């Protein structure tokens, strides 16, 4: 044995093969980090491809709609060359004609018209109709177009054309807030009988808050029971909580329909008991009440489970200690027990609130007219009216509202205190 | 390893081969899809060996648009409503269809004359004519069953809840018709602010008694549950409940709302040629008549009517249930696709605002 392999105290520490220890350590750490990254890479890629990219693309549609601009090159150029406020002269109508002929060839008049129709109702057929006849029009085009349809002389239509010539627009956000533009391009409210989104957003918020409060109120005692009952009984109770949780959402919603409808089980029982008469059957579904009942039931496990996991960790000795020090049971609950459950209350409440804000199937099935939420409008524009830009704007706004509540929660409670189980 | 490679290549190759012999067809689901599978898909596969994947959608126009938007079209054929067919054709999403590929009627009448007016469009060919009608529960309406749309709005004469489609289209037309507007004037009236107010005011008279539905399967269910005494809905669905399931339903044909369902082929459909072949095959006289054996929707060809006989149970005469039966066409409201393409957004906003108020 010699001292040759030992490092000299004065020089830098090296490994057995003579490399500086610091570098070797860094290298081995980097390898480990890479390996860790490889492990999360599939999940990361999955989230990126299946979640972030499509959502990003969808949200992008809320500010970008090239339905008109890509199909009307001549008009886009005309608007570029003539600043806002220029007179709509013969050259503009000539550009319009050449674009309409192009649209006719490429079958895109509908697409361009649809974009303008989002702004001014009734203008879609203006395009499809004019595209059919554009080729036969004789100069002067201005008179010819106005003779075809007087709307071609409407300054508001030209305002909409100019605005749609730029594919980037905030118009869909205006529409999502019950606003539109007038002839001069100034932002105004849409007529009262057409305002719907702000009201629905408000109702969505109110309903979500009510449902969250109900879930917490109902879930708290159950979670407490679960956490304090002896094992065997707690397991049984847990199964009662989890069974509906594992059952399909649609099955649970339709079961509520069977139970609550006016010829349903509950009403039949009331009539049989004589609580209400045959004519006095209570309308408990296809209205706001139906939405609240069904959604509270469906979302209840999302409050119970985090609450339970938090309550399970609270030693019963704390409350006993409080009691032995003279606190009444109410004081002991309020000052000792409740504060310790707050991370669970926060987590469960936030979870339910966020889920409730975006709920769609249940309100669609049991909500009737006054139990509808903003997500039903988003679905409507995705599936029926096919106005995806407006759907994207509404969805983006919903996302922002949820994020605001998330931020408020973080400020008040702190996100690091949240405990999901 | 090599073996594995060979095997997987073989699998992929057969996969491609199989793909070339397939058609992806999107339709509305339920009894309607069954009728198409029985009358069109099965005989077509038998004849050509081309397999047909039947796909269900709430509204087949939505996936067609979605796929075109995403640039990845896998649908070969879709069954859509008239307004969507015209809209998507205008937007350049659909392949144009040459009417000369459609076979003539057995007596030699060319297809263009054999089809009912409006059934052949630039990019679409109708297979059925269907109606949105009012149905009632015979056990709940006393001895004098309702016969008019006016009865639907008369909650004093026929107390009880009403089911209505939660959509501006169809509901507003129905309200105006009930308010005394002639069917051919409905869209002129509805195009004005006063007309919209008038329709909503008429709906206001029964607003508290309406149960709103959205999916076609809901109205027969609401009626069967006793949740409503009358509801509007798709005539084929009521037929299925009444004849196949023996429910005590009756139909009010007054003010029936007529629409087509049409085949469309996306512009970038992967098997366009086979899709065209299928389209021509499925809209011939015999196939359209065969479909009526399964569901009570009217064939889009005049020559098919004579061949429509009994329901598949072998004893129910189909004619009384057909929306195209002259006895049932008392005062039909024909859909106006151009009107709805133009006013869809505005009227639905007004309708939804009215609903939420």
Structure confidence by residue, pLDDT tens digits, B211-222: 999 888 889 999
Chain B residues with beta carbon closer than 8 angstroms to that of A107: 89-92
Q: Does B70 touch chain A (CB under 8 A)?
A: no
DSSP A52-73: IHHHHHHHHHTTB--TTTTT-H
**Stretch B114-125: mean pLDDT:** 91
pLDDT digits (tens, 9 = 90+) for B170-217: 999 999 999 999 999 999 999 999 999 999 999 999 998 999 998 888
Eight-state DSSP code of residue A13: P
| CATH superfamily ID and name for B130-259+330-356 | Periplasmic binding protein-like II (3.40.190.10)
Query: What pLDDT shows up at residue A5?
Result: 53
A109 contact residues in B (CB cutoff 8 A)? 90
- pLDDT, residue B43, reads 95
Which pLDDT belongs to residue A182?
86
Q: Under a CB-based contact definition with an 8 Å cutoff, are residues B232 and B170 in contact? A: yes
Residues of A (137-196) whose Cβ lies below 8 Å from B: 190, 193-196
Question: Between residues 74 and 93 of chain B, which touch chain A (CB distance below 8 Å)?
Answer: 87-92
List of chain B residues whose C-beta atoms are within 8 Å of the C-beta of residue A124: 341-342
Average pLDDT over residues B17-31: 79
* Position A6 confidence tier, pLDDT thresholds 50, 70, 90: low
Residue B14 has pLDDT above 70, yes or no: no
Q: Assess B61–A contact: CB distance below 8 Å, yes or no.
A: yes
User: Is A194 close to B349, i.e. CB distance below 8 A?
Assistant: yes
Average pLDDT score over chain A: 89
Name the least confident of A138-152, A258-272, B16-30, B102-116.
Answer: B16-30
Q: Which residues on A lie below 8 Å from B87 (Cβ)?
A: 110, 114
Is the CB of B209 inside 8 Å of chain A's CB atoms? no
Q: Residue B2 has what pLDDT?
A: 52
Enumerate the H helices of B21-167 as residue ranges.
Answer: 30-36, 42-48, 61-70, 82-90, 111-114, 149-153
Of A7-21, A208-222, A351-365, B221-235, the poorest mean pLDDT is in A7-21
pLDDT given at position B357: 79
Instruction: Read off the pLDDT of each residue in B330-357 and give the average, rounded to a whole number.
Output: 88
- Inter-CA distances, A405 with A220, A408, B144, Å: 22, 5, 57
Q: Decide if B18-129+261-321 and B130-259+330-356 have a common fold.
A: yes
Asked if B33 and B27 touch (Cβ cutoff 8 Å), the reply is: yes
Find the mean pLDDT for residues A155-172. Answer: 93
The more confident residue out of B8 and B195 is B195
B192 touches chain A (CB under 8 A): no
Q: CA torsion, points A82, A84, A87, A91, in degrees to nearest 10?
A: 30
Among A295-309, B8-22, B143-157, the minimum mean pLDDT is found in B8-22
Distance from C-alpha of B139 to C-alpha of A319, rounded to nearest angstrom: 63
B281 and chain A in contact, CB less than 8 A: no
* Nearest Cα to Cα of residue B162 among B172, B151, B170, B177: B151
CA distance B340 to chain A (A): 9
Checking if the pLDDT of B12 tops 70, the result is no
User: What percentage of chain B carries pLDDT values higher than 90?
Assistant: 64
Question: Is A293's pLDDT higher than 90?
Answer: yes
Q: Does B185 touch chain A (CB under 8 A)?
A: no
Any idea where the domains of chain B sit in the sequence? Answer: 18-129+261-321, 130-259+330-356
pLDDT at residue A4 tops 70 = no
Show the 3-state SS of B211-246. Answer: EEECCCCHHHHHHHHCCCCEEEEEHHHHHHHHHHCC
Q: What percent of chain A has pLDDT over 70?
A: 96
Whether B19 has a pLDDT exceeding 70, the answer reads no
Taking CB atoms and an 8 Å limit, are A383 and B341 in contact across chains? Answer: no
- d(Cα B202, Cα B195) in Å, to the nearest integer? 11
Is the pLDDT reported for residue A227 higher than 70?
A: yes
The model's pTM = 0.83
b/e map of A170-201 (b: 16 or more CB within 10 Å)?
ebbbbbbbbbbbeeeeeeeebeebbbbbeebb
Residues of A in contact with B88 (CB under 8 A): 110
Coil, strand or helix at B23:
strand
Tell whether B14 lies on the interface with A, counting CB pairs under 8 A: no
Query: Once rounded to an integer, what is the mean pLDDT over residues B272-290?
Result: 93
8 A C-beta contact, residue A175 and residue A118: yes
Q: Which residues of B are less than 8 Å from A203 in CB distance? A: 356
Give how far Cα B16 sits from Cα of B26, B67, B90, B101, Å. 21, 21, 33, 28
Residue A8 has pLDDT above 90, yes or no: no
Domain ranges of chain A: 15-61, 73-194, 197-417
Residue A179 Cα, gap to closest chain B Cα (Å):
12
Confidence of residue A73 (pLDDT cuts 50, 70, 90): very high
B258 to chain A, minimum CA–CA distance in Å? 19
d(CA A101, CA A113) in angstroms, rounded, equals 14
The pLDDT confidence band at residue A418, using thresholds 50, 70 and 90, is: low
DSSP string, A67-117: TTTTT-HHHHHHHHHS-TT----HHHHHHHHHHHHHHHHHT-HHHHHHHHH
The answer to whether the CB atoms of A199 and B346 lie below 8 A apart is no
CATH architecture of B18-129+261-321: 3-Layer(aba) Sandwich (3.40)
**CB atoms B353 and A125 under 8 Å:** no
Would you call B341 an interface residue with chain A, using a CB distance cutoff of 8 Å? yes
Q: How many CA atoms lie within 13 A of A369 on its CB side?
A: 22
- What pLDDT does B18 receive? 47
Q: Using 50, 70 and 90 to split pLDDT, how confident is the model at B26? A: very high
Tell which of B64, B91, B223, B350 to mutate to test the A interface (max A CBs under 10 Å).
Answer: B91
| Cα–Cα distance measured from residue B276 to residue B272, given in angstroms and rounded to the nearest whole number | 6
* Alpha helices (H) along B258-336: 272-282, 285-291, 302-305
| CATH 2.30.30.60 given to domain A197-417 | no
């Amino acid at each position: 044995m010699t001292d040759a392999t030992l490092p000299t105290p004065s020089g830098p520490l090296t490994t057995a093969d003579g490399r500086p220890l610091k570098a070797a350590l860094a290298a081995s750490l980097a390898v480990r980090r890479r390996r860790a990254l490889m492990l999360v890479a599939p999940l990361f890629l999955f989230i990126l491809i299946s979640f972030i990219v499509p959502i990003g693309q969808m949200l992008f549609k809320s500010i970008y709609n090239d339905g008109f601009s890509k199909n009307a090159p001549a008009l886009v150029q005309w608007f570029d060359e003539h600043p806002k406020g220029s007179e709509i002269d013969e050259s503009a109508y000539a550009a319009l004609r050449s674009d309409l002929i192009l649209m006719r060839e490429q079958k895109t008049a509908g697409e361009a018209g649809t974009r303008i129709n989002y702004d001014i109702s009734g203008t879609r057929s203006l395009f499809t109709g004019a595209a059919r006849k554009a080729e036969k029009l004789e100069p002067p085009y201005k008179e010819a177009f106005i003779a075809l349809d007087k709307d071609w002389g409407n300054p508001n239509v030209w305002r909409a054309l100019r605005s749609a010539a730029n594919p980037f627009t905030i118009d869909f956000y205006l529409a999502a807030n019950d606003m539109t533009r007038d002839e001069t391009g100034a932002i105004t409210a849409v007529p009262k009988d057409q305002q719907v989104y702000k009201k629905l957003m408000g109702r969505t918020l109110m309903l979500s808050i009510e449902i969250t409060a109900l879930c917490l109120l109902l879930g708290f005692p159950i979670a407490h029971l679960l956490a304090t009952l002896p094992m065997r009984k707690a397991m049984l109770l847990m199964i009662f909580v989890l069974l509906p949780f594992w059952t399909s959402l649609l099955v649970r919603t339709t079961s509520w329909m069977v139970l609550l409808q006016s010829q349903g089980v509950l009403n039949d029982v009331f009539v049989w008991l004589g609580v209400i008469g045959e004519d006095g059957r209570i309308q408990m579904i296809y209205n706001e009440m139906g939405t609240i009942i069904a959604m509270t039931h469906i979302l209840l496990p999302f409050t119970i489970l985090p609450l339970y996991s938090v309550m399970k960790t609270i030693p019963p000795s704390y409350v006993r200690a409080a009691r032995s020090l003279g606190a009444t049971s109410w004081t002991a609950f309020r000052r000792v027990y409740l504060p310790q459950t707050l991370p669970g209350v926060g987590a469960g409440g936030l979870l339910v609130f966020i889920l409730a804000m975006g709920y769609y199937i249940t309100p669609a099935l049991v909500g009737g007219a006054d139990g509808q939420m903003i997500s039903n409008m988003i679905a409507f524009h995705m599936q029926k009216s096919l106005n995806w830009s407006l759907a994207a704007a509404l969805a983006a706004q919903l996302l922002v509202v949820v994020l605001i509540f998330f931020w408020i929660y973080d400020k008040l409670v702190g996100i690091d205190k949240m405990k999901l189980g | 390893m090599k073996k594995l490679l060979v095997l997987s290549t073989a699998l992929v190759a057969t996969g491609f081969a199989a793909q070339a012999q397939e058609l992806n067809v999107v339709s509305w689901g339920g009894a309607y899809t069954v009728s198409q599978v029985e009358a069109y898909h099965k005989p077509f596969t038998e004849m050509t060996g081309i397999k047909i994947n039947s796909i269900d959608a709430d509204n087949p126009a939505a996936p067609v648009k979605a796929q075109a938007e995403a640039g990845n079209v896998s649908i070969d054929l879709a069954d859509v409503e008239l307004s969507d067919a015209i809209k998507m054709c205008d937007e350049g999403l659909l392949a144009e269809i040459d009417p000369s590929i459609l076979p003539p009627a057995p007596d030699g009448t060319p297809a263009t004359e054999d089809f009912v007016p409006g059934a052949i469009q630039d990019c679409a060919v109708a297979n059925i004519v269907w109606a949105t009608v009012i149905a009632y529960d015979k056990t709940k309406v006393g001895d004098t069953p309702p016969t008019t749309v006016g009865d639907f709005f008369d909650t004093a004469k026929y107390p009880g809840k009403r089911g209505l489609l939660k959509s501006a289209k169809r509901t507003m037309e129905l309200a105006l018709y009930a308010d005394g507007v002639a069917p051919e004037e409905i869209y002129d009236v509805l195009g004005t602010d006063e007309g919209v107010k008038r329709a909503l005011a008429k709906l206001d008279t029964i607003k508290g008694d309406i149960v709103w539905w959205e999916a076609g399967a809901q109205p027969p269910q609401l009626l069967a549950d006793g949740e409503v005494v009358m509801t509007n809905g798709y005539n084929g669905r009521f037929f299925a409940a009444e004849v196949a399931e023996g429910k005590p339903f009756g139909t009010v044909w007054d003010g029936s709302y007529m629409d087509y369902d049409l085949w469309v082929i996306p512009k970038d459909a992967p098997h366009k040629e086979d899709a065209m072949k299928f389209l021509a095959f499925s809209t011939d006289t015999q196939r359209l008549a065969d479909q009526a054996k399964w569901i009570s929707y009217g064939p889009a060809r005049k020559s098919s009517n004579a061949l429509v006989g009994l329901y598949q149970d072998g004893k129910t005469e189909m004619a009384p249930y057909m929306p195209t039966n002259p006895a049932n066409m008392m005062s039909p409201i024909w859909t106006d696709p151009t009107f709805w393409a133009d006013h869809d957004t505005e009227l639905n906003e007004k309708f939804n605002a009215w609903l939420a108020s």
